[in-house]
Structure 1
Amino acid sequence: MQGNKTDSLYQRYPKDTMSSAFSRTGFVVICLTIVVNLALYPVLRTLGIQIHSAITGSYVPGYHSVLLINCPTEQTARDIGRGIMEKRLAACVNIFPRTATMYYWKGEIRDASEILLLVRTRTSLIQRLEAYLRDVHPYDIPEIISFPIGDGSLHYLKWMENALTDI
């Protein structure tokens, strides 16, 4: 008798094939929505920032960055700077003449003269810029240091954005 009660309490019903198909379809739609949103996140974020900036007339801190890059010679700095500009990875590159540099290398203090590049770009382009620099820079470990721009002249920052629009 108890077997009958247990069987009746836990009786299995045949699965409704229509609701099963809908739940699988719903799961697939949710997964695809998540994948598409993740893939489009950079575009959606950029668009959101531009809309926010246009509506409020303000700058979103950190949207652009300044990078410091040291090079061994002026010609190397010019070649790298030109490559950065040709690839549209920056709005502007300044080349500062000789700087005196002291650094540790392989356990010793070294002195050198270097040329400093000051690069202004969109923060979202830093990884592409770093990848390019690793390919062309003569140093084993090139100095690539970035600082997000917190604020500045809105006219200049707008000019920067317009200079980077084809990217």
Structure 2
Amino acid sequence: MSASSHNVRLVLSTCPDPQTADALASSLVGERLAACVNVLPGVKSTYRWKGEVARDEEVLLLIKTTADRQEALVERLRALHPYELPEAVAVEAVGGLAAYLAWVAEQTRDDD
């Protein structure tokens, strides 16, 4: 598998609390859908939901995966997530340390 930066994705998702964030991170890494998940507490989100402006404190997940595993990761995230409509926004890596990009690809390899 190529270590190309175009193969690595950063998927962003928010969670309602640290326990949910930790459970999601463990599942995604454990299932090899993500190489690494950073959990950032203290995010304040303002958004429109069902016709009203809402404000919540959330926990942000920075999920590192590959293009090949992105769809499966998003499907699993949706299945495990408590939100009716979980955030799942993928950003393509346009550069980075080649060895790290190769590590992400290796850690998310589908061995099936």
TM-score normalised by length of structure 1: 0.63
Percent of residue pairs identical: 33
Q: Of 88, 91, 105, which aligns to 1:144?
A: 88
Q: Shift in Å at residue 166 of structure 1?
A: 4.6
What is the root-mean-square deviation in Å for CA atoms of aligned residues?
A: 1.3
Q: Shift in Å at residue 78 of structure 1?
A: 0.3
Q: Of 54, 57, 60, which aligns to 2:4?
A: 60
Larger Rg: 1
Q: Distance in 1 between matches of 2:68 and 2:76?
A: 14
Q: Of 18, 36, 42, which aligns to 1:92?
A: 36
Contact 2:5 2:96 in 1 (8 A): no
Q: Of 48, 52, 55, which aligns to 1:108?
A: 52
Query: Segments of 4+ in structure 1 off by > 4 A?
Result: none
* Greater helix share, structure number: 1
* Greater strand share, structure number: 2
Deviations along 1:45-89, one digit per CA (max 9) or x if unpaired, are x5xxx3xxxxxxxx5342110010100000000001101011110
| Greater relative CO, 1 or 2 (CA 8 Å, sep 6+) | 2
**Pairing of 1:5-154 with structure 2 (within 5 A):** 46=1, 50=2, 60-154=4-98
Q: Any idea what SS the aligned residue of 2:40 has? A: strand
Q: Which runs of 5+ in 1 are unaligned?
A: 1-45, 51-58
User: Structure 1 counterpart of 2:81, which letter?
Assistant: H
Q: Distance in 1 between matches of 2:17 and 2:56?
A: 11
Q: Shift in Å at residue 104 of structure 1?
A: 0.2
Q: Any idea what SS the aligned residue of 1:68 has? A: strand
Q: Distance in 1 between matches of 2:8 and 2:98?
A: 12
Q: Distance in 1 between matches of 2:84 and 2:6?
A: 29
User: Structure 1 counterpart of 2:40, which letter?
Assistant: F
Deviations along 1:22-52, one digit per CA (max 9) or x if unpaired, are xxxxxxxxxxxxxxxxxxxxxxxx5xxx3xx
Q: Distance in 2 between matches of 1:86 and 1:162?
A: 14
1:157 aligns with 2:101: yes
Give the number of equivalent residue pairs. Answer: 111
TM-score normalised by length of structure 2: 0.92
